[in-house]
Structure 1
Amino acid sequence: MTAYRDSGAPPAADTAGTRRPTVVVITDLIVLAKHLRLLDAAERRGVTPLFVFGPETPADELARHRRDPRHPLSRLADEGLRHVADTSLETLLRAVAPWLRERPVRAVLNVGEVFVEAAGVLAQTLGLPGPGAHAARVCRNKPLQRLAAPALAPRWTLLDPARTTAAGIRDAFSAFPAVLKPASRMSSSGVRAVAGPDDIPPLLPDYGLEELLLLEERIAGREFSVETLVRDGAVLWAGITAKDTNESGTSFFTETGHTSPAPDLTPAQEKLLLDANTEFLRAVRFGTGMSHAEFRLTAEDRVVLMEAAARPPGDAITRLWRLATGMDLDAALLDLALGTEPPTAPPRRRARQVYLDHPRGHLTDVTAEDVPVHWVAEQGRWPDLPPLAENAPARGHAVLVSRHRGDLLGELADSQGRSVSVVLDAPLGTGIDAAAHDATGRVTIHTAAPSPAATTEEPVG
């Protein structure tokens, strides 16, 4: 792959010889698949979206979706798209330089993790709204987050994979049980529970020799994320999402569910989480955009920062908040990038995403009773999932398949290992657990064993 792809054609006039204002959207295909409402939001606001796709976007899949007249990406002109080979600022600048010379760029909008830092620097340099270069840098590095907000941090230390020994760990750190995590990875990749110093050296070959490792005390307590819309450092809207993980009985911390808004929190606990989130945003001098910060709340109501991101949340969380509040968060992201204040709304329903455990083997099919199945990885797009009336009965909206047919399904060691989830919602004043149990029980994941002779079909839920 070259540094970037360019059709070589001059930018076309958008209307009658003039070029409309543009927004540079920096992303990857797997992320944009759930933010495709941005195209319609841009059209309504009179701006033309120009897309930079990163190295995690397969070129053949991007081309396939652009050839498909049913896919929104088919609407993109060649001159409105770049596909870059890495996420460095230098490569991003090479890709967008022709646009900056020839078009009126009004906004830079990043909707993924890997470009957070480069996009933050670009937006600030152009004098456009964004989280800011400093906030973007800190939010890409977990040790910097600990240093920026020490009152929210667990006890921690840094490890060098090339020099670390159990004896050295004993001398430097005593807060066991602990968690070992790479400083700059995402999707729970490489995050492992460790009971003591002797557990760590056998894990080190799984990390790069130059990779910075964080060892921190393991915090017992419920996990939450706080999603926030921020403009010029002021919080316009914040919502708390409850998280489920597979950490019980494993050494992993893969997220297996989200519920928005979080249930079973007292008003005082909600305030603790929201105040901690505001404290962190202030500490990193967050400017404008959407943030996603993850916290643990202990039995003693101590709030501890796990990690934070200067971007929209992953998985279906933006979809959950749309179901819960009616807010169009894709439109809100664009409004913030354009320097305008989006409308906000409180929750009126409760929405949940549940990831299912899967039988081991090659994925062949996913079926469900009464809930549509969407192969989002293969189709390159997520379903729209419009919100329901406030008192509408509980409903399973969609089954989302985030893997391809033929993929080998195995252990849920990180988020990339997950395969199938269900999205549902219910009235705010009613319990959602029964509805979730019913919706997941209607899904069957079909797999074929690695040996072609053996197949399994197991209902999960």
Structure 2
Amino acid sequence: MKTADSAPPAVVVLTDLVVFCRHLDLIAEIESRGLTPLFLFGPETPADRLALHRGDPRHPLSRVAQAVHVDDCELDTLLAGVRTYLTDYRVRAVLNCGEVFVEPAGALAEALGLPGPGAHAARVCRHKVLQRLAAPELAPRWAMLGRAGQAAEVADEWQDFPAVLKPAGRMSSSGVRSVADSAELRAELAQYPPDEMLLLEERVRGAEFSVETLVYEGEVLWSGITGKNTNEDGTRYFTETGHTSPASGLSAAEEDRLLAANASLLRSIGFRTGISHAEFRLSGEGVALMEVAARPPGDAITKLWHLATGRPLEPALLDLALGERPTVPAPRRRARQVYLEHPSGVLSDVTCAEDVPVSWVTTDGAWPRFAPVEPDAPARLVAVIVTREAGQQLGQWSDSGGRAVSVVVDGPLDEDLQGAAERLAKAVHISTGDRGDGDGDGTGGADGHVGA
């Protein structure tokens, strides 16, 4: 065992491949500071795909000297996985990317005396009921149903419909449903595992936003508001179909209300250091909390802020993990990601008529490079992102996993970026075939139309 002084300094990164492929530049950023990147990949990472990328000299993961792959995200499993990292290296930071390791990462960083959101804040951010208890002034009307197998009695007392039923600990809109009345609520309860904790709350009407925040020792250093679209109109689901950073169409008073609510939330949960991602709805003069996460935002939001500000967020994430104060410039452009409607069937191909490559990020294990341009440059199609694999079945968007293809566009701050996205998306064509087609030729297809 090396002594503390002789052991090489390192950063432990906790993640899954599907998430980290958005943040591959962190590897070079860690190395540029004379630190060794050490990885622990979780249960959502396919072992064969991880081995493929680590063995590919063109992939950044090939430069990683050590990577542990574990079967679950429990704290004891994490500790066993990083045991040799803690003995053979001087760990300077614990950097979590993704939802599944939020809670154990918070506990590990706190135990090591390293910067992080804090074990308490990390726990609250992984449980929606705890979020309601910690910030009651921001909560919609709600009831804790308890375990799904025992929830019917409590559910009978609920009279405020329509309502939203959601699991307390899932992510990516999984299991979140709108229920119209008591009968529908009872029927829906039978669809959840009997031991799953459930939350029932009023359905808040109003535009949805997320607030991304960099926090240093409890001080908010930077906050950005992202506008959201979902498929909730005409469906029972709340799958996110688009993001715009910074959000457009907000008055100064509305921005102030969102930022004040976010700052109050972070104080309430005792968030210390790191990045937070909180989702709110503006309803009349009020702000209602949907949920908060202690990790980088999902989808392309970090990339949208890169395009909007001209600077990537990954260096700031590492700064915070190391206990250093980062700086983030103000937005100078606006960027938007929108998911495209697709036909049902087996995904065959995605093509783009413009000179923009189609990036199959799950297959390649990497997102494309995002290059900011001058503030007044015309609106442009930046990327075409495919998050499913050829041969997979496409169907309903009941949660985030049902989406397949998105485009990223950016433009001047005063541009109608929603209109630009709809126009530029027409260059994209999604082809599907019937399951079992031997040649893979698409029997159905759709040009790029933005999702609901």
TM-score (structure 1 length as normaliser): 0.94
| Structure 1 partner of 2:52 | 64
1:316 aligns with 2:300: yes
**Alpha-carbon deviations, 1:168-220, whole Å to 9, x = none?**
5232x222110000000000000000011111121123211110010000000
Question: Are positions 1:442 and 2:427 aligned together?
Answer: yes
Match for residue 249 of structure 2?
264
Asked if 1:457 is matched to 2:445, the reply is yes
Report the 3-state secondary structure (helix = DSSP H, G, I; strand = E; otherwise coil) of the residue aligned with 2:52.
Answer: helix
- 1:265-414 matches, cutoff 5 A: 265-298=250-283, 300-370=284-354, 371-414=356-399
* Equivalent runs, 1:214-253 vs 2, <5 Å: 214-253=199-238
Asked if residue 47 in structure 1 is aligned to residue 47 in structure 2, the reply is no
RMSD, aligned α-carbons: 1.5
Gaps of 5+ in 2: none
Q: CA deviation at 1:261?
A: 0.3
Q: CA deviation at 1:444?
A: 0.5
* Letter paired with 1:32: F
- Given candidates 118, 122, 132, the residue that maps to 2:108 is 122
**Helix, strand or coil: the match of 2:336?**
strand
Distance between the aligned counterparts of 1:285 and 1:345, measured in 2? Answer: 26
Which one is further off, 408-417 or 366-375? Answer: 366-375
Counterpart residue type for residue 162 of structure 1: G
Aligned to 2:126: 140
The 10-residue stretch of structure 1 (340-349 or 310-319) with the greater mean CA deviation from structure 2: 340-349
CA distance in 2, matches of 1:30, 1:296: 28
Displacement after TM superposition at 1:381 (Å): 0.4
Q: Secondary structure at 1:38's aligned position in 2?
A: helix
The answer to whether the 8 A contact 2:342-2:445 is kept is: no
Q: Where in structure 1 do 4 or more consecutive aligned residues deviate above 3 Å?
A: 17-20
- Aligned in 2, Cα 1:269/1:41: closer, same or farther, shift over 3 Å? same
TM superposition shift of 1:162: 1.4
The DSSP-based 3-state class of the residue aligned with 1:296 is: strand
**Could you tell me which residue of structure 2 aligns to residue 6 of structure 1?**
none
TM superposition score normalised by structure 2: 0.95
State whether residues 54 and 84 of structure 1, in contact with CA within 8 Å, keep that contact through their aligned partners in structure 2: yes
**Uncovered stretches (5+) of structure 1, i.e. residues with no partner:** 1-9, 12-16
Q: Distance in 2 between matches of 1:410 and 1:108?
A: 38
CA-to-partner distance for each residue in 1:103-124, whole Å, 9 max, x for gaps?
1110000001000000000000
Aligned equivalents of 2:108, 2:418: Cα separation in 1: 44
1:4 is aligned to none
Q: Is the 8 Å Cα contact of residues 360 and 449 (structure 1) preserved in structure 2?
A: no
Q: Secondary structure at the match of 1:303?
A: strand
90-99 or 345-354, which deviates more: 90-99
2:198 aligned residue: 213
Distance in 1 of aligned mates of 2:185 and 2:343: 30
Contact (CA 8 Å) 2:12, 2:95: kept in 1 or not? yes
Question: SS where residue 155 of structure 2 aligns?
Answer: helix
Residue 44 of structure 1 deviates from its aligned partner by 1.6
2:149 aligns to what? 162
Report the Cα distance in structure 2 between the residues aligned to 1:436 and 1:152, rounded to whole angstroms.
Answer: 33
Q: Deviations over 1:212-244 (max 9, x none)?
A: 010000000000000000000000000000000
SS in 2 for 1:200: helix
Cα distance between partner residues in 1 of 2:246 and 2:34: 33
Structure 1 residue 19, shift from structure 2 partner = 4.8
C-alpha contact (below 8 Å) 1:20/1:46 kept by paired residues: no
CA displacement, residues 299-332 of structure 1 (integer Å, 9 cap, x when unaligned): x121000000000000000000000012221111
1:3 — aligned with what? none
Measure, in 2, the Cα distance between the counterparts of 1:372 and 1:168. 52
Is 2:7–2:88's contact at 8 Å kept on the other side of the alignment?
no
2:49 alignment partner AA? E
Aligned length, in residue pairs: 442
Question: What is the CA deviation profile of residues 329-380 of structure 1, one whole-angstrom value per residue up to 9, with x for unaligned ones?
Answer: 1111001001111121111000000001110000010001212210001000
Shift of 1:163: 2.6
Give, in angstroms, the shift of residue 18 of structure 1. 6.1
Q: Distance in 2 between matches of 1:315 and 1:433?
A: 17
Identity %: 58
Corresponding residue SS for 1:206: coil
- Letter of the aligned partner of 1:21 in structure 2? P
> Does the aligned pair in 2 maintain the 1:372–1:397 contact within 8 Å?
no
Q: Is the 8 A contact 2:431 2:444 kept in 1?
A: yes
